[in-house]
Amino acid sequence: MLLVKEPDLHNIFLTEFLYRRNIFEIALCLCAIGYAIRSALRMLELKRNDAYATADQHRTREASSYFSHRYGLSSREEEILVLVLDGMDNQRIASHLQVSVGTIKTHTHHIFEKTGTANRGQLIEKFWSES
């Protein structure tokens, strides 16, 4: 039903083409067009959000090198600091770095001692206030 025959001189214009179609065919085409536009807009929004996230990660990594140098953090502790700042918990950090959760707890404890903070909230607040 949705196949379009080879255009001839009588149905070149869109209005004449739509006039010869069933109302349900037109509704189906409009739904398909609406879905395609909606999907395209969602993809563009995701790409834009990804670009913002990448810029924030880049800024966080630059600031983390300054912060880690200031407080004498090791390179591994700096790496864990960045993941903590990204909002990851110990289990996700351990999975990401392929180490045990106990190792992550030890590193985060050392980060807290070196920076003079007691928990993640204070660490994040101190990091952004000094950056």
Per-residue pLDDT at 130: 84
- Which structural domain, as residue segments, surrounds residue 77? 22-130
Domain-located, residue 2: no
**For the chain, what is the mean pLDDT?**
82
Q: What is the CATH number of the domain that holds 108?
A: 1.10.10.10
Identify which has the larger pLDDT, 129 or 21: 129
Q: How many domains does the chain have?
A: 1
| Residue 75 near residue 44 (C-beta atoms within 8 A) | no
* HSE (side-chain half, CA atoms, 13 Å) at 75: 0
Average pLDDT over residues 80-103: 93
Confidence of residue 103 (pLDDT cuts 50, 70, 90): very high
Domain-located, residue 5: no
Domain-located, residue 58: yes
N residues, the chain: 131
Per-residue pLDDT at 15: 62
Average pLDDT over residues 2-20: 60
CB atoms within 10 A of CB 77: 21
CA distance 117 to 79: 18
